[in-house]
Each structure stands twice: as C-alpha cells, then as structure tokens.
Amino acid sequence: MFCLRHFLLLVVALCPTAAPFAQNDMQVLGDAVFSPAELADGAVVTYLIRFQNTGTDTAYQVIVRDTLDPRLDIKTFTMVGASHEYQLVLDGSNVIRWYFDDIMLPDSASGGHNSIGFILFSIRLKPFLAPGQTVWNNSCATFNQTNTTCTNHALIWIDTNADTEEPEDRSAGIQIVPNPNYGNFEVRPTNPAPAEQDSPAAEWWITDMSGKVVWDGHARDVAAAGVQVWLERPAPGLYLLWVKDRRRLQARQFAVVR
C-alpha cells in the first residue's frame, strides 16, 4: 500500500525548491515522517536553509531568523555547518538568529552561485506529539538590514504507520580528506566498521551551493571503506557531498581551490 510516508517523500523529491526564489528555501534532509515510537527514542530532524542575495548590490550583512515551532526542542539545537562565518544568538525560548557580518555576499546577477549561502542544523522533536500532527518551520533572511526574504515552510508529519523497522545505526560518520582540495579527495569513515556482504549500495552526489548536481555515483556502505572521488575541472568554490543509504542522509561541506 502506498502510505503517507512515501507520498511526502515523493513530494519533497519532486519539489525541493517551492519558495518564491529558488535559492531562498528550507528543506528537511532525510525522512520527514516520524512515528510516536521514533519520537520517544529521540528523533532528530536536520534542516537545510539556503539564502541568496537577489538584490542589486553586494550584501555586507545577512541576518537569518528562525522562529521554531514550540514542538521542536530548542535545548537540543546543534549546528552542523554553514557557508560563511557567523555569530549565533538564541533569542528567548524558540528564536534562533544567525548574524553573518562582513559576509560580502555578491548579488545573484554578478555573483552567480557565489551569491548563495546556507545553514545546516539539527534539532529533536518533543516526544509527546500525536499521530496526525504536523510541524512547520520556515526562516527569513534580511540583507543589509533592508530587504527581507522568507523561505517556504518545511513540513514534518507524525504518522502511526511510519516504518520503525530500520536497520541499526552504527553511528559512522564521514569526513573529506583533504579539505580544501583541488577536486580530488577521499571520503573516509570516522568510525570504520567491517564490510557487510548484504550491505546495500549507497547513493552519492555532489552539489554546488545552488543545488546543481555536479557529480553522482554509487559505492558500498560508507562505514566499511574509503572512497576516492575525482571531479573533472571543477570551478573553485564551496560544494556539498551527500551520501544516502537506508540508514540516513549525510552532508559534508568542502572547498575546491585552484
């Protein structure tokens, strides 16, 4: 039976940028449907915020503000990464602000992909949510204290029929070595584990900061062994490596230099 979980995942896959401006958006990375049992186990949500300077001049400051739904536990907020240096302010009980001072973000007409920044963070859902509830989240970015642009709403759904029979997570992360690099690097597990004969192939892809896929491939379980990646004449700049298997979706930022 085609369940609600599959429907929502299909919508996210087909419509990843529903915001008025394609690169001012907010996404839930990985599964956006959770069961009450997963909430009781401390389910973690990972959000990706992208902001783009669509003005006519360089932005010397960008302030991103996220007013969290009260059903998200701000005490568990964890930064994963960001495209530029920032200062973080937790304002009150559920407001997060990122101050990108002296960011010097070029406008989209002259800067292209360099006009885009991102924020990646994780947070836990509170455990008392009932099936049928939805949790919405969006953010707004203010450029040079004048122009404010808000993202779409990223949706999380609580569903009794969500699949909780998932394989054990071995908590193996990944790292990119070296970083920065010249477009060729090795992806290494931070907690190597023996290879499993029935381990499924993982999906791998690399995007630039606009979300454009510049490389994709397949490999065995990332926890088992390192993987060598070679990009063909990549432009200098920031990129994201994405690795998805049946356990989770991971994202790592790296820089390509000349």
Over the stretch 169-220, which tens digit does the pLDDT of each residue have?
A: 444 578 888 878 888 888 888 766 555 545 556 778 888 766 778 888 766 5
> What percent of the chain clears pLDDT 90, i.e. is strictly above it?
28
Q: Which domains does the chain have, with CATH numbers?
A: 4-158 (2.60.40.740), 174-256 (2.60.40.3080)
What's the pTM value of the predicted model, to 2 decimals?
0.63
- Greater pLDDT, 129 or 198: 129
- Greater pLDDT, 123 or 212: 123
| CA 255/CA 201 separation, integer angstroms | 26
Distance spanning both ends of the chain, measured CA to CA: 51
Most confident segment among 61-75, 186-200, 216-230: 61-75
pLDDT on residue 130: 85
Asked which of 41-45, 93-97, 186-190 is least confident by mean pLDDT, the reply is 186-190
| Cβ neighbours of residue 110 closer than 8 Å, sequence gap 6 or more | none
CB–CB of 96/47 below 8 Å? Answer: no
pLDDT on residue 199: 54
pLDDT on residue 165: 44
Residue 18: is its pLDDT beyond 50? Answer: no
25: closest CA among 17, 35, 15, 37? 17
pLDDT range class, residue 13, cuts 50, 70, 90: very low
pLDDT range class, residue 52, cuts 50, 70, 90: very high
